[in-house]
Amino acid sequence: MALVGRWPLASQVAVGFVVGGMVCRAAPVGWVVLGRQDYRILKALSRFVVPTRVEGILMNGLTSKEIALRDRADADLAEAYFDSGEARALSLGNRGPIRFDADGRLDSAIVDAYERTGFYIFENVIDDQELGELDEDLASLLDRAPAEEGSAVDAQGRPAVGGGRHPHFLWARPLSDPWGGTTLLNGRHPVRMDEPAPKAGVPEKAIFLMIGLYEEMHSALRLSAHPDMLRVAESLNGPDFVPYNDTIFLKEPGLGASVAWHQDGTTHWESPDWHPNIHGFNFMAQLCRTTPANGLWVIPGSHKEGRIDIPKRVAANGGSTRLPDAVPMLCERGDVAICNRQCLHASFANASLDRRATFVWGFFQHDAVLDVEVDLPATRAGEPARRRRYSADTIRERCELVQLSIDARKARRPKEDSFRYAPCADAADKKWTSESRRAALRRYAEGFIFI
C-alpha cells in the first residue's frame, strides 16, 4: 500500500508520527494509510527527527514514558529483537495473494512454503465491505460485553451478552500473562512471559479473548465460510475437514495480555501416526495491521519438531522469552494468515499504541479427531475438566454448521461462488434461518472439539 493522502510528504510524515502507523479503523479523509514499506522508511527517517518522541512511537511500539520507565538496556534489546525479527519474517517467502491451480487446489508453491515454515500470510483476502461488517459487529459485541469480569450488565446497565452462553469473555490484568506457568489449557503454556507495568489509571482487567463468537457475530460466521479459505482447508486437510473454533484475540494498546509460548496441539504427540499436520491449523483474520509489538510470533518450521521442551528453550536463551529464531507474523488489515497448530508461537504483552483484533477459526483432519477421547481443557481457573469422545455422529453434527455458514454467506454475497462442502453434500440445500441457526449453533457448541 502506498502513502496516500492530500498533503505533501512532510505533513504526511508528521501525521504518520501522530497516528504511529496505525490505521486500524477506516481512515477518514486526510489520514495517511501507511504500508509496511512506508513504515520502515518512516522508522529510518525518525532517527534524524525528534528522536525521543519518534522512538517512543515508532521504534518498538512503546511510548516514550514507558521507555523512560524501563531499563534502557532492555528497551534497546527489545528494539533490536523486533527489528531483527521483522527482517527474518520478511525474508521467509511465506506471504502473497492466494492462488489455486486449475483443479482448484492450493498452489503447490504456497503449500511448500506453508509446509516449510508452518505458516503463510494470504494478503488482501477480506474486502472493505466485509471488514466494515466485522468492525461493526465487533464494536457492537464489545459494547454489549459485561462491564467488568463477572458482571451481568454492560457498561450502560443493560443485560450483558454471554451470561453463561456464548461468547465467553476471558479477562486479564493489563499487560499480564494469564496462562504462562499455569495448568490451564492442559498446561501447554509452561513459561510465564514478561509482564510490563501498565500505565496508571488503566482498568483493573481487560478482555483479551472471546470464545464462541458465532451466536453474536454473524459477520465472523460468514467469513468462516469464505470460499477461498474453505478451499485451503480442503487442500490441506482433505474434503472431510472438521471445524475447530471461533474466537477473537483482542490486544488493546497498553492493555493486551501476552499469550505465552506454546504449541496448540495436546493430544497426538506420542501417537505412532504423528505427522506435522495432525493437530490441524488455524486461520487468523486480521482486523488491524499487526506489528512486532502487538502481533503473534512464530518459530518457523517448529511444527515439524514434535513436542518442544519450552522451559529448556527459554533456559537456553538465558531465561529470556525473546526466543532468537522467532519471527513476527506481519499482516495488513484484511490479510488472513494460516498457522499450523503445532508451531511454537506466542505474543508479547501489547505495550504499543496499536490495537490488534484477530479472528481465529481452525480446521482438523477428520481422521485426527474420529473416536479420539480427550479431556477438554479449562481456559480459566475453576472451570471443570470434561472428558469427551468424538464419535462420527458428533463430528457430523458439528460439521453441519459449516454448511449453514456457507448458506449464510451466500445470502449476503449471492454473486460469489459458494464452496461445496463434501461432508454435508446431502444437506447442501439447508437454509440459514433463525431456527436452523439456533439448533445448529447449539449442537456445534455442545460438540466442541479440542485436540
Ligand X SMILES: O=C(O)CCC(=O)C(=O)O
How many of the other CB atoms lie within 10 Å of CB of 442? 14
Nearer to ligand X, 12 or 224 (CB): 224
Of residues 170 through 229, those in contact with ligand X by CB under 6 A are: none
Q: Which of 409, 404, 398 is nearest to 434 (CA)?
A: 404
Do 278 and 345 contact (CB within 8 A), yes or no? no
User: Is residue 227 reached through a cis peptide bond, with omega within 30 degrees of 0 on the bond before it?
Assistant: no
How many of the other CB atoms lie within 10 Å of CB of 164? 6
DSSP string covering 189-203, please? Answer: --SPPP-PPPPTT--
Nearer to ligand X, 159 or 306 (CB): 306
- From CA 337, how far away is CA 362, in angstroms rounded? 11
Total residues in contact with ligand X, by rule CB under 6 A: 9
Of residues 247 through 306, those in contact with ligand X by CB under 6 A are: 249, 259, 264, 282, 296
Q: Which of 94, 347, 403, 405 binds ligand X (CB under 6 A)?
A: 347
SS3 395: helix
List the grid coordinates of 397: 453434527
Smallest distance, ligand X to C-beta of residue 257, A:
9
363 binds ligand X (CB under 6 A): no
Fill in the amino acid letter for 326.
A
Nearer to ligand X, 283 or 432 (CB): 283
Of residues 395 through 434, those in contact with ligand X by CB under 6 A are: none
SS3 447: coil
Smallest distance, ligand X to C-beta of residue 232, A:
17
344 binds ligand X (CB under 6 A): no
Task: Point out the residue whose Cβ comes nearest to ligand X.
Answer: 347
Q: Which of 360, 372, 395, 449 binds ligand X (CB under 6 A)?
A: 360
Smallest distance, ligand X to C-beta of residue 103, A:
30
Q: Which of 358, 365, 394, 405 binds ligand X (CB under 6 A)?
A: 358
Smallest distance, ligand X to C-beta of residue 125, A:
17
Residue 277 makes CB contacts below 8 A (sequence gap 6+) with 236, 237, 303, 340, 342, 365
Nearer to ligand X, 217 or 360 (CB): 360
Q: How far apart are the first and last CA of the chain?
A: 39
Nearer to ligand X, 301 or 423 (CB): 301
- From CA 435, how far away is CA 439, in angstroms rounded? 6
Which residues contact ligand X (rule: CB under 6 A)? 249, 259, 264, 282, 296, 345, 347, 358, 360
